[in-house]
Amino acid sequence: MKPYLKKLMNREHLTVTEMKEAANYCFTTDVTETEIAGFLTALQIKGETADEITGLVEVIRAKSSYQTSPIQDAMDNCGTGGDGSNSFNISTTSAFVIAGAGVTVAKHGNRSISSKTGSADVLEHLGVSLSFSNEHVSEMLAENKIAFLFAPHVHEALRPFSVVRKHLGLPTIFNAIGPLTNPIELDTQLIGVYRKDLLPIIAEAAKKLGRRRAVIVNGAGSMDEASLAGDNHLIILEDGKLTETTIHPETVGLSIYPNESIRGGDAKENAEILKSVLNGIPGPYLDTVLLNAGLGLFTNGKAKSPQEGIELARESIQSGAALERLQHLVAYSKKIPSGVY
């Protein structure tokens, strides 16, 4: 570990290969918690690069037991978290809308980190299992167009890192890479980031990791979701090229709302908000999901523009298809053993 620590302390970047070597060492029995803590801290102080993110993500994904064959057009819409907005579960709600529109969504997520309620917390309250096996995930993706992959369950090898991160209590590279570590071989991906400076870094990493198409968004007010509060900054990855753009709610036919209007609560409250959106109740919660689901459908290529994506998202909700995806996932969850995570 020392050669890598010395480079980082000298503010020198690691190559993809060097990062993979260092990360793999962190999974051995020879490594100490002190070495892992030093490694993560040095990376954070220097600032992560696309190569370093790519190397770490490739190692993490290789360590997951959830190895599947490529699923045609599979996508995820998980954000990094960390924006401190205490919003409701936007990407989780949007995932059911995207799936209801016919796109396969391998939804990757965790319990609460920066908000009151994480995706796992609200889904667990709704009756969705956090213990899906590889076979369960494959079956749900095939017949329901959506499955949930609970990060600690699909990345059990990361527990040593989790312990160190908990002891550190400080942001690390893991706060940026969560969405990219989805073990399913994704074709497309919508990624929300809470730091605008991460946009080009995550976009370049997504390119290196082989995403055919991706949209990385930093929402108005530094949200890790698209926001109705103003301009949202995007980088679009397509055909190996990165293009910067912005999207404002009014340009796609949606009203402006402050971010305070979409705050959530505990798992019970957020579950009620999620169901209200899938039942088409008008208001800022619904419009926020329409914007984010619309961007997801645009990212996947189901829609040719965000505006068309929003209309497809609206149809997914109004037809009841989005709600059916949730109901099917809950019903399936009742048939399988529950684990404790």
Q: What is the pLDDT of residues 109-136, one digit of tens each?
A: 988 755 668 899 999 999 999 999 989 9
Please give the mean pLDDT across all residues of the chain: 93
> SS3 of 120, please?
helix
Number of domains in the chain: 2
Task: Specify if 341 maps to a domain.
Answer: no
pLDDT category at 233 given cuts 50, 70, 90 is very high
Range 163-189 average pLDDT: 90
Does 73 have pLDDT greater than 90?
no
CA proximity to 142, closest of 99, 183, 191? 99
Cβ–Cβ < 8 Å for 251, 234: no
Q: Do 106 and 12 belong together in one domain?
A: no
Predicted pLDDT at 271: 97
pLDDT band (50, 70, 90) for residue 341: very low
β 146-150/188-192 pair status: unpaired
- The pLDDT-based confidence of 340 (bands split at 50, 70, 90) is very low
Residue found by looking up tokens 């020392």 in the block = 2
Q: Does residue 339 fall inside a structural domain?
A: no
% residues pLDDT > 70 (the chain): 96
Q: Which residues pair with 236 in a beta bridge?
A: 215, 243
pLDDT above 90 as % of the chain: 81
Binding-site entries for 5-phospho-alpha-D-ribose 1-diphosphate = 79, 82-83, 87, 89-92, 107-115, 119
Q: Which pLDDT value is given to residue 312?
A: 98
DSSP letter at 84? -
Whose CA is closest to 253, among 313, 190, 299?
313
Say if residue 218 is in the same domain as residue 125. Answer: yes
**Three-state secondary-structure class, residue 75:** strand
Boundary-marking domain end, from 31, 63, 95: 63
pLDDT at position 146 over 50: yes
The residue from 36, 63, 90 where one domain ends is 63
Q: In what order do the strands lie in the sheet with 75-76?
A: 146-150, 105-109, 75-76, 188-192, 213-218, 232-238, 241-247
- Report yes or no on 304 lying in a domain: yes
Bind-site residues: 79, 82-83, 87, 89-92, 107-115, 119, 165, 224-225
What CATH number is attached to the domain comprising 48? 1.20.970.10
181 and 200 in one domain? yes
pLDDT attached to residue 112 = 72
Cα 199 to Cα 195: distance, rounded to the nearest angstrom: 7
Residue 302 within a domain? yes
Shared domain for 95 and 114, answered yes or no, is yes
Name the pLDDT band for 70 (thresholds 50, 70, 90).
Answer: low
Q: How far apart are CA 315 and CA 322, in angstroms?
A: 9
Which residue in 12, 90, 91 sits closest to 257, CA to CA?
90
* Residue 54 shares a structural domain with residue 87: no
Distance separating alpha carbons of residues 24 and 182, to the nearest angstrom: 18
Task: Please tell me which residue, 51 or 152, carries the higher pLDDT value.
Answer: 51
For residue 340, being part of any structural domain is answered with: no
Give the integer Cα–Cα distance in Å for 303 and 337: 37
Least reliable range by pLDDT among 87-96, 154-163, 222-231: 154-163
Whether pLDDT at 107 is above 50:
yes
Copy the structure tokens of residue 9: 């302390």
Residues placed in the known binding site for anthranilate = 79, 110, 165
Q: Which residue type sits at 327? A: Q
CA 281 to chain centre: 25
**pLDDT tens sequence across 281-308:** 999 999 999 999 999 999 999 999 999 9
Q: Which residues are 263's β-sheet partners? A: 87
What is this structure's pTM?
0.94
Q: Which of 169-173, 269-273, 306-310, 312-316 has the lowest mean pLDDT?
A: 169-173
pLDDT > 60? residue 41: yes
Q: Residue 180's pLDDT band (boundaries 50, 70, 90)?
A: very high
Inform me whether the pLDDT recorded for 226 exceeds 90: yes
Residue 143 and residue 223 share a domain: yes
DSSP run (H or E) holding 244: strand 241-247
The answer to whether residues 40 and 72 touch, using CB atoms and an 8 Å cutoff, is no
Report d(CA 5, CA 260) in Å as an integer: 42
Range of the domain at 7: 1-63
Q: Which residues contact 14 (CB under 8 A, 6 or more apart)?
A: 4, 7, 8, 22, 49, 51, 52, 55
Taking the C-alpha atoms of residue 180 and residue 197, their distance in angstroms, rounded to an integer, is: 17
User: Do 90 and 59 sit in the same domain of this protein?
Assistant: no
Q: pLDDT value at position 159? A: 83
249 pLDDT more than 80: yes
Is the confidence at residue 20, as pLDDT, over 90? yes
Same domain? For 16 and 138 the reply is no
Residue 339 is predicted with a pLDDT of: 54
Q: Both 144 and 54 in a single domain?
A: no
User: Is 140 found in the same domain as 276?
Assistant: yes
Looking at the structure, do residues 58 and 122 belong to the same domain, yes or no? Answer: no
